[in-house]
Amino acid sequence: PSRLAAMLTSFIEGLLCCLTSKPANTVVPVETSEPADGYEFVEVKPGRVLRVRHIIPDRPAVEEPSLGGIVSCKRKITVYRNGQLFIENLGERASAELKTCQNGETEPNSTVEVELTDCRNSSPPAEQSQQPRKRRRKPKRTVVIDCERRIAACKGTHSDVALFFIHGVGGSLDIWGSQLDFFSRLGYEVIAPDLAGHGASSSPHIAAAYTFYALAEDMRLIFKRYAKKRNILIGHSYGVSFCTFLAHEFPDQIQKMVMINGGGPTALEPSLCSIFNLPTCVLHCLSPLLAWSFLKAGFAQQGSREKQLLKEYNAFNVSSFVLRAMMSGQYWPEGDEVYHAELTVPVLLVHGMHDKFVPVEEDQRMAEILLMAFLKVLEDGSHMVMLECPEAVNTLLHEFFLWEPVTLPPPKKEPKARPETAKPQTDNTSEP
């Protein structure tokens, strides 16, 4: 009955919106707890105010030796005009380079220069097969990376470590409630903003305010305001793209990254055939159906616990106008595979096995493209895995924060001639 009443109410409001040409459910910040309870309101631009939860641990900072492994990153990334991407790791202990063909298959230990028809399924004509003519590809773009990065363990008692949590479309900083409480109790300084139009942030009624570039600029200003010497970015879904953007903008300040159900390393482009292209008033009429669909696709189970999580953590409470503007504003052509392959920061990929929004193959592809990536799949989780499995997610994140690579000594070069090899020869000649 309550669902039917909600559907009737939204239908009437949407009908009035279409008749009167007034926006349905104009965006208003939700009621919050006491602002003094770790919440701040930051004006990133005149009239554009974001709510930020900022928790500074009370425990005193303990000096910690700045030890850690040094990772040498030497990569050559080549993109050809037919869409081929070649990643050549040039380091001494680098893994085999990855060759990706147009059909999506990968081949290890491939050479950088290949035939023009290597990734084509069609066979060459008979006259060409009799006299094969080899042509070298002309690369469309070549990127060379050569840097060294020191990876240290980010302990919570250190005063120069900050954790940034960025949510996705339709969420709010409340979805990170378990993570913010867990890591702040451990002594980490945590920062979690509400995107514009979400949670208690201001919501301008103009579609241009919700493009990727507008939201990314907000996150850049928030990062500059709260950043420490060492920072860790944690993003969920659409928020992963903003974390990747920040890692490119501030490569020397980002220590590590966590991508939770973020998808593959592809450039963002809004879908032309999507339900979110419908008029705002129509979307408002369908809002109960959209919320029900999100519950079915975003959670592995749809019981009373999941419904309570959806309501309690404000996981899908956004206006129809903002939802439409967010989906149509996901245009980011720079965020392609090369853009992701340029990242030199260690990345933890967390994926919920039952996620119906992001297939696991996309996160697997992301793990292949990134230089230092670790993919962890949680079998009991879906798209909202931080709400479904908070203890497992917190454990994975904490282990990753404390991780540091082991620096191995360089292998010793063997001498050209050793006495052991010459001794048997002299013994053999002395025998009768």
Instruction: Reduce the DSSP state of residue 20 to 3 states and report it.
Output: helix
**Separation of alpha carbons 232 and 183, rounded Å:** 12
194, 218, 355, 363: which one is catalytic?
A: 355
List % helix, strand, coil for the chain (3-state, nearest 5): 35, 20, 45
One-letter amino acid for residue 130 of the chain: Q
Q: Of 198, 284, 354, 383, which one is the catalytic site residue?
A: 383
Alpha-carbon distance 257 to 377, whole Å?
16
Question: Phi/psi at 279 (nearest 5 deg)?
Answer: -60, 155
| DSSP conformational letter for 29 | P
Q: Give the DSSP per-residue string, 49-106.
A: EEEEEEE--SSPP-------EEEEEEEEEEEETTS-EEEEE-STTPPPPEEE-TTS-E
Q: How many Cα atoms are found within 13 Å in the side-chain-facing hemisphere of 298?
A: 23
Residues 6+ apart with CB under 8 A from 216: 241, 242, 245
DSSP β-bridge partners for residue 268 = 332
Q: Is 383 a catalytic residue?
A: yes
Tokens matching residue 89: 């790791």
Q: Is 237 among the residues known to form the active site?
A: yes
Q: Note if 363 is an active site residue.
A: no
Q: How far is the CA of 251 from the CAs of 98, 104, 180, 343, 378, in angstroms?
A: 24, 29, 24, 8, 29
The burial of 389, by beta-carbon neighbours within 10 Å (0-12 exposed, 13-18 middle, 19 or more buried), is given as buried
8 close to 15: Cβ distance less than 8 angstroms:
no
Catalytic residue among 237, 287, 319, 382: 237
Residue 83 CB neighbour total at 10 angstroms: 12
Which amino acids are annotated catalytic?
237, 355, 383
